[in-house]
């Protein structure tokens, strides 16, 4: 190794610049996406105004853009319901796995639940379709929420385990030394200490559920002629609306898809910054 | 098993059924998919894996299905995507952890986080509307013209919806996930190694190269997890791959992946006797592939973490 200092230095600079160049390349798509959606979707939103979130979708040949009210309401309701179902389950499982970590059930659950976040969400959609939708005879908000709940469960679990792990060992020991049972420690110590992490976890899983397309594809239905038909009736969601309208041949549907995408991104960014600002105050 | 106080026992046994229930439920999804797929496996046997055909018919005897094209298409697109993800996420890890000032690095990290959570349908739309025409005109056509003698560039690009477009969008969408894993792993390397190598007068690049060498099993594990993500991705692929039932190794051709086939055929599949079971068969193969890969990846991550902690 007698390479001169100069060559090493040069190689260092080349590699650093290359790394930065590639990094910039990797994030350009985000800005390209934002630009595209703001330009195309902005036109639609400005054109339609507030009625975009209160009106029904247009028919293929209508001249007005209409709105995405059924999809917006469906998305909000389905994600809320999904997190209401999977949140508590994920929380209890996460508590179990972190508190009783020497039990073999915990070790198995940890790996299985985490692996489950890698399985294709379209299969969950097929599963819910064949078990729930076929039996009920119709696609429904309920089936969609169930499908979302299954997909969101591993995510919520991952966030909740890191919330539980964020609790300092000293507090854990202090709680135990006061003679608290684990359940009492959870109720009086852990929840208070990791409150913000738990809230962030809930919010992030909600965001995840809000943006999912595949789990809703066969389960949610595609409601267009009223805003809300009931929990056991078909509904609609923003991501599937974008997906289906983008693949359709009609100009007016494409416009609605752009508007809906912008709406989706705005909601996403608002929730995301909310989640981040929650975490910012965390000091332990 | 170590045991606790009486009330801890109560807690343990009252949550246990829930945990077992969740595990059982996940298993049920797998078994259910296999059960639904059974008629198709029985009817077509190995043809299902070696032919590429989608022929629904009212008369069940005339129906013929083969999933070779979408299955290979899935593996092909995900492999390409993983090959693109690796340099991107390694460069991002290097930039964020070592090169950029803390503030700018933090900003880049937030951008990556935003990209990681962005709804996939936005990526799909962007791929279909912006990237596909751009790639066709500025990348695919020149490549085909000048390097057309290489088999994977040999077909003429027509619409821009192709394996290449799909893998590129998949890569962009999955890079944040892999990057997050790599940064987490990199930060776990004990700082004494870094101090040591810097004391010897290594440049930043040399130090990173050496430290990253320690991370090798972790990088493989993260790529496996990224691969499994890409394998199951539906929305992006259905919007960008062109949805054509055709076996191809040329990256400019449209094809299908298993999820895109399911997304485009599921609604009408109920009308035919073997169409739905065939889709379930595809789903089952995908499920097996992705859960085995995820499992191996996660096990490797844990093994590495255990080792580095000691």
Q: How many structural domains are present in chain B?
A: 1
Residue B108 lies in a domain: yes
Distance CA A37, CA A39 (A): 6
Find residue B234's DSSP bridge partners.
none
* Cross-chain CB nearest to B204 (options A12, A111, A210): A12
Residue B79 lies in a domain: yes
Query: A interface mutation test: which of B22, B94, B302 has the most A CBs within 10 A?
Result: B22
- Whether residues B124 and A246 touch (CB distance < 8 A) is answered with yes
Q: Are A112 and A176 in contact (CB under 8 A)?
A: no
Residue B221 lies in a domain: yes
Q: To the nearest whole angstrom, how far is the Cα of B134 from the nearest Cα of chain A?
A: 12
- Whether residues A120 and B203 touch (CB distance < 8 A) is answered with no
Q: What is the pLDDT of residue A284?
A: 47
Transcribe B254-288 into DSSP letters. -B--HHHHHHHHHHHHTTSTTHHHHHHHHHHHHHH
Q: What is the mean pLDDT of residues A113-141?
A: 87
Centroid of chain to Cα B299:
17
| Chain B residues within 8 A of A268 when measuring between CB atoms | 117-119
Q: Are A57 and A66 in contact (CB under 8 A)?
A: yes
Q: What is the pLDDT of residue B91?
A: 93
Distance CA B76, CA A107 (A): 33
Q: What is the pLDDT of residue A3?
A: 66
Tens-digit pLDDT profile for residues B140-176: 888 888 887 887 787 877 788 888 999 999 999 999 9
Q: How many percent of chain B have pLDDT more than 70?
A: 98
Tens-digit pLDDT profile for residues A157-211: 999 998 888 888 888 888 888 888 887 888 888 888 888 888 989 999 999 999 8
| Chain A residues within 8 A of B240 when measuring between CB atoms | none
Assess whether pLDDT exceeds 60 at residue B82: yes
- Whether residues B259 and A93 touch (CB distance < 8 A) is answered with no
Quick one: pLDDT band at residue B310, thresholds 50, 70, 90?
low
Q: What is the DSSP letter of A123?
A: H
Q: What pTM did the predictor assign?
A: 0.90
A88, closest residue in chain B (CA to CA): B18
B125, closest residue in chain A (CA to CA): A246
| Chain B residues within 8 A of A129 when measuring between CB atoms | 266
Q: What is the pLDDT of residue B112?
A: 92
SS3 call for B80: helix
Assess whether pLDDT exceeds 70 at residue A68: yes
Average pLDDT, chain B: 87
Query: B interface mutation test: which of A26, A148, A257 has the most B CBs within 10 A?
Result: A26
Q: Are B243 and B257 in contact (CB under 8 A)?
A: no
Q: What is the pLDDT of residue B2?
A: 54
> Which H helix or E strand runs over B66?
strand B64-67
Quick one: pLDDT band at residue A114, thresholds 50, 70, 90?
confident
Residue B133 lies in a domain: yes
Assess whether pLDDT exceeds 90 at residue B203: no
Give the dihedral of Cα atoms B127, B133, B138, B139; nearest 10 deg.
Answer: 50
Q: To the nearest whole angstrom, how far is the Cα of A208 from the nearest Cα of chain B?
A: 7
* Cross-chain CB nearest to B20 (options A22, A105, A116): A105
Assess whether pLDDT exceeds 80 at residue A118: no
Tens-digit pLDDT profile for residues B2-52: 556 777 788 888 888 888 888 888 889 999 999 988 888 888 878 788 888
Residue B264 lies in a domain: yes
Q: Count Cβ–Cβ pairs < 8 Å, chain A vs chain B.
A: 243
Distance CA A157, CA A109 (A): 10
Assess whether pLDDT exceeds 60 at residue A282: no
Per domain, the residue ranges of chain A are 69-278
Residue B130 lies in a domain: yes
Tens-digit pLDDT profile for residues B100-149: 888 898 899 999 999 988 999 999 999 988 888 888 888 888 888 888 78
Q: What is the pLDDT of residue B1?
A: 46
Query: Which residue range is the domain that position B243 belongs to?
Result: 68-269+298-309
Q: What is the second-level CATH architecture of the domain A69-278?
A: Orthogonal Bundle (1.10)
Q: What is the mean pLDDT of residues B80-96?
A: 93
Q: What is the mean pLDDT of residues A117-130?
A: 88
Residue B28 lies in a domain: no
Residue B32 lies in a domain: no
Distance CA A148, CA A214 (A): 9
SS3 call for A140: coil
Say which CATH number the domain at B176 has.
1.10.3720.10
| Chain A residues within 8 A of B298 when measuring between CB atoms | 111, 114-115
Cβ contacts of B192 within 8 Å, gap of 6 or more: none
- Whether residues B95 and A204 touch (CB distance < 8 A) is answered with no
List the single range of A255-269, B52-66, B176-190 with lowest mean pLDDT: B52-66
| Chain A residues within 8 A of B225 when measuring between CB atoms | 118
Distance CA B259, CA B71 (A): 10
């Amino acid at each position: 190794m007698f390479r001169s200092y100069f060559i090493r230095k040069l190689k260092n600079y080349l590699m650093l610049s290359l790394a930065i160049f590639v990094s910039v390349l990797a994030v350009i798509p985000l800005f390209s996406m934002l630009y595209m959606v703001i330009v195309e979707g902005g036109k639609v939103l400005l054109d339609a105004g507030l009625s975009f979130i209160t009106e029904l979708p247009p028919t293929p040949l209508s001249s007005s853009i209409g709105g995405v009210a059924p999809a917006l309401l469906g998305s909000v309701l389905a994600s809320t319901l999904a997190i209401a179902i999977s949140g508590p389950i994920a929380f209890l499982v996460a508590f179990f796995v972190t508190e009783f970590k020497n039990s073999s059930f915990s070790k198995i659950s940890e790996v299985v639940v985490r692996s489950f976040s890698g399985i294709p969400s379209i299969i969950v959609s097929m599963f819910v379709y064949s078990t729930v939708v076929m039996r009920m005879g119709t696609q429904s908000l309920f089936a969609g929420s169930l499908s979302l709940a299954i997909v969101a469960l591993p995510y919520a679990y991952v966030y909740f385990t890191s919330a539980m792990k964020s609790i300092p060992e000293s507090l854990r020991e202090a709680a135990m030394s006061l003679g608290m049972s684990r359940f009492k420690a959870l109720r009086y110590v852990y929840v208070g200490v990791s409150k913000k992490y738990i809230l962030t976890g809930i919010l992030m899983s909600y965001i995840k559920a809000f943006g999912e397309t595949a789990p809703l594809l066969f389960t949610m239905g595609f409601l267009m002629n009223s805003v809300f038909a009931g929990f056991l009736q078909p509904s609609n969601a923003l991501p599937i609306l974008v997906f289906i309208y983008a693949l359709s041949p009609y100009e007016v549907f494409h416009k609605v898809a752009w508007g809906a995408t912008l709406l989706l991104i705005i909601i996403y960014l608002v929730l995301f910054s909310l989640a981040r600002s929650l975490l910012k105050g965390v000091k332990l | 098993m170590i045991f606790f106080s009486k009330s801890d026992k109560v807690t343990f046994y009252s949550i246990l059924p829930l945990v077992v229930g969740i595990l059982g439920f996940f298993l049920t999804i797998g078994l259910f998919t296999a059960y639904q797929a059974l008629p198709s496996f029985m009817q077509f046997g190995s043809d299902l894996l070696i032919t590429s055909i989608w022929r629904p018919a009212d008369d069940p005897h005339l129906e013929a299905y083969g999933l070779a094209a979408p299955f290979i298409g899935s593996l092909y697109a995900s492999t390409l995507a993983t090959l693109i993800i690796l340099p991107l996420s390694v460069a991002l890890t290097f930039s964020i952890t070592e090169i950029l000032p803390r503030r700018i690095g933090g900003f880049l990290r937030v951008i990556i986080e935003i990209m990681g959570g962005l709804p996939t349908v936005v990526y799909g739309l962007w791929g279909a509307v912006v990237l596909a025409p751009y790639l066709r005109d500025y990348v695919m056509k020149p490549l085909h013209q000048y390097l057309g003698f290489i088999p994977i560039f040999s077909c003429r690009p027509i619409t821009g919806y192709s394996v290449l477009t799909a893998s590129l969008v998949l890569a962009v969408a999955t890079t944040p996930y892999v990057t997050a894993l790599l940064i987490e792993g990199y930060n776990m390397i004990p700082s004494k190694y870094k101090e040591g190598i810097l004391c010897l007068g290594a440049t930043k690049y040399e130090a990173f190269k050496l430290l990253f060498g320690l991370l090798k099993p972790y990088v493989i594990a993260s790529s496996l997890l990224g691969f499994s993500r890409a394998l199951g991705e539906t929305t992006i692929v259905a919007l960008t791959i062109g949805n054509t039932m055709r076996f191809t190794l040329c990256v400019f051709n449209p094809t299908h992946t298993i999820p895109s086939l399911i997304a485009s055929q599921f609604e009408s599949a109920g009308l035919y006797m073997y169409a739905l079971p065939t889709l379930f068969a595809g789903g089952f193969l995908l499920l097996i592939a992705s859960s085995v890969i995820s499992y191996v990846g996660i096990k490797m991550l844990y093994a590495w973490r255990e080792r580095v902690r000691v």
